[in-house]
Amino acid sequence: MGLTAALPALSKAASQPMQIAADPLHPPAEGSIPVAFLLSDDATVIDFAGPWEVFENVNVPGRAADPVFQLYTVAATTRPIKASGGMTIVPDYTFANAPAPKVIVIPAQHDHGEAALAWVRKASQDADLTMSVCTGAFLLAKTGLLSGKAATTYHGAFSEFAMTFPDITLKRGARYVEAGKFASSGGLSSGIDLALRVVERYFGREVARSTAYTLEYQGQGWLNPESNLAYATRPRSTDQHPLCPVCDMDVAKVAALSSVYRGRTYYFCMDAHKKMFDAKPSGFLDA
């Protein structure tokens, strides 16, 4: 029965057009590739820790003993920040003194302040690639650098992203999306796949495979950007199984906040989503 249920998805995957291959990235002849991780309070740990582990474990045969990637964190200040789950991190650099990066990683976080946006705009000019993970796509989109391009984000934020940035083509069901000097991945573990893809663009598929092997990472999403098809179709909310119309998460009707729109009751997973829906209900229902 499980195989039977999977057949439609497999058939759909086979019929999906592949993204056009992105151009290779060119590493320096010697020395490390600087990678900046933009952090602020509530940064989601797996969004930056996953790519960090990927870049940390790259080994290129015949290359000098220096680390292949030079990894560091950047924030508005060097005061300790609280990442998701309460992890405390002391940033290495501020926007004022951070080394110029060749790769920028933007995880999900809540600080979309102008200082962060300005730093991304400036640093990305000379970077090889600026990549977002999960809802880090919102921060990257707010810089204006994704305008007219395609992107993806966490599946629970598809509707909000599409409404907020109508000038960006949202790709549902994409594990990651490459758009010139920019790239975005789906939620959480998707960032690992995008990081492996970045390794592949710099050093080739075998180096990326070796990195995945070292990490004991069995995921194959980095080989196929269209591999998030499980999230390509929006789940359907019913009276018996209501979903939040903003993020599509399961909602317990007994304790949930609710709103009535056009004679139908909608339930919400949190107060913030109720407020967003009430401000523009048709937008979330049509997104």
Rounded mean pLDDT, 216-232: 95
Look at residue 243 and give its three-state secondary structure.
Answer: strand
| Rounded CA separation 54/31 (Å) | 18
Res. 1: pLDDT tops 80:
no
Q: pLDDT grade, residue 20 (50/70/90)?
A: low
Tokens found for residue 250? 């399961």
Architecture of domain 23-231: 3-Layer(aba) Sandwich (3.40)
Rounded mean pLDDT, 195-200: 98
Taking only the tens place, the pLDDT of each residue in 93-107 is 999 999 999 999 999
Res. 16: pLDDT tops 60:
no
- Domain ranges within the chain, ordered by starting residue: 23-231, 235-287
| Rounded CA separation 208/196 (Å) | 6
Position 231: which residue type? Y
φ, ψ of residue 72 in degrees (nearest 5): -155, 160
Radius of gyration of the chain (CA): 20
Position 46: which residue type? I
255 or 40, which is more confident: 40
Q: pLDDT grade, residue 21 (50/70/90)?
A: low
Look at residue 205 and give its three-state secondary structure.
Answer: helix
